[in-house]
Copies of this chain bind each other. A is one copy, B any other.
Amino acid sequence: MKKITILDIAKELNITFSTVARALNDHPAISAATKKAVRETADRLGYRPNKVASSLRSGKTKIIGVLVPRLDVSFFSSVVHGIEGVMNENGYTILLYQSQESVKQENKGIDTFLRSRVDGIIASISLETEGPGGYEEVKERNIPLAFFDRVPQGLDVPSVTIDDYRGGFMATEHLIKAGYRRIVHINGYRNVHIFNERLRGYLDALTQHGLPIDEDLIVKGDFSLEFGRKCVRDLLAKGTAFDAVFTLEDFTAMGVVQELKAVGKHVPKEVGVVGFANEAFTSLVSPAVSTLDQRTVEMGEEVAQLFLRLLKKGNYYSHKPEKIVLIPKLLVRESSSR
């Protein structure tokens, strides 16, 4: 199949290729008859506009780079699902890159996007990323940029996040109101902003409700199901009294529940448990695990829409960046209902 260009269509119709180009782009100054003839010939010959050529000429690719840590984490794939849906409806395509939680790989992604001349970048930074990193250059090149969930420090950019502080607060307050008093919080050992926020919410909820802050109840570690189990074992071994656990995410909460069941502690009667993220399994296990929904698809749609508004503005870095904060939804289930 020979490659058909506007020149082939032009020859076929004995007109010039610029007339063909205009007809295809529905230019107002072209007669209906010409447009019709051009379109028919284009269809007949199997013409496909070459986006590469038009991008080179126009300076617009209609491609948005989306950079996420990893797509096998349901949080990120849901958000990307939301982003793609909205972008697609608006004529944009998604160029996808995974940082695999590594700064080096993240910077490679940014570099690829810059070389590819994407019309913009939507990202969520890796756990390793400390400062603005490679995103500084994106800003300098005046390429529109928006973040979701994990936003770099030291770079004033548009973003959609959930209120992790509120999430931590809501979870803890809910446990307090349910009558739990000695609430363990399992956090991550890494110094990540959103983790710190959840911790801050936990602390403030305790304080506001007149409960003491007990350092023994704040555990830092990797997050995994196994770590949740280990935490419970360690706390019991040390003889630390506790009657509830609020974890950084759901897998740890699941581990906590499993270990408590294993040692014969009833959830929620003896110990209440609340996770974070609303992973699919939390509603299916028994007891169903209370958690905070992060509104993932919505987050993707919001960041895409925010991005489209930004694109319309032009001058991407002269306005005050729009920052949307979604309130997480507390889902009270069996694990904390007594």
* Residues on A facing B (Cβ under 8 Å): 1, 46, 48-53, 55-56, 61, 63, 66, 70-72, 74, 77-78, 80-81, 84-85, 88, 93-98, 100, 111-112, 114-117, 137, 140-142, 225, 254, 279-281, 284-286, 297
Contact = CB atoms under 8 A, between A and B. Distances in A.
B81 A88 contact: no
Given A94-B95, A98-B88, A117 B74 contact: no
A218 to B, nearest CB: 26
Contacts of A279: 280
Contacts of A63: 95, 116
Contacts of A81: 70-72, 98
Contacts of A71: 71, 77-78, 80-81, 84
A286 B74 CA distance: 22
Contacts of A74: 74, 77, 280
B72 A297 contact: yes
Contacts of A140: 1
B254 A284 contact: yes
A72 B77 CA distance: 6
Contact of A97 (B46, B51, B84, B112): B84
A68 B176 CA distance: 45
Contacts of A50: 56, 115, 117
Given A50-B56, A52-B116, 7 more contacts: A51-B117, A70-B81, A71-B81, A72-B78, A84-B98, A85-B98, A225-B284
Contact of A116 (B93, B96, B98, B142): B93
A294 to B, nearest CB: 13
Given A281-B280, A285-B281, A96 B72 contact: no
Contact of A115 (B51, B66, B78, B80): B51
A74 B137 CA distance: 34
A141 B3 CA distance: 9
A284 to B, nearest CB: 5
A96 B84 contact: yes
A53 B57 CA distance: 9
Residue from the set A66, A81, A112 with the largest chain B CB neighbour count within 10 Å: A81
Nearest to A85: B98
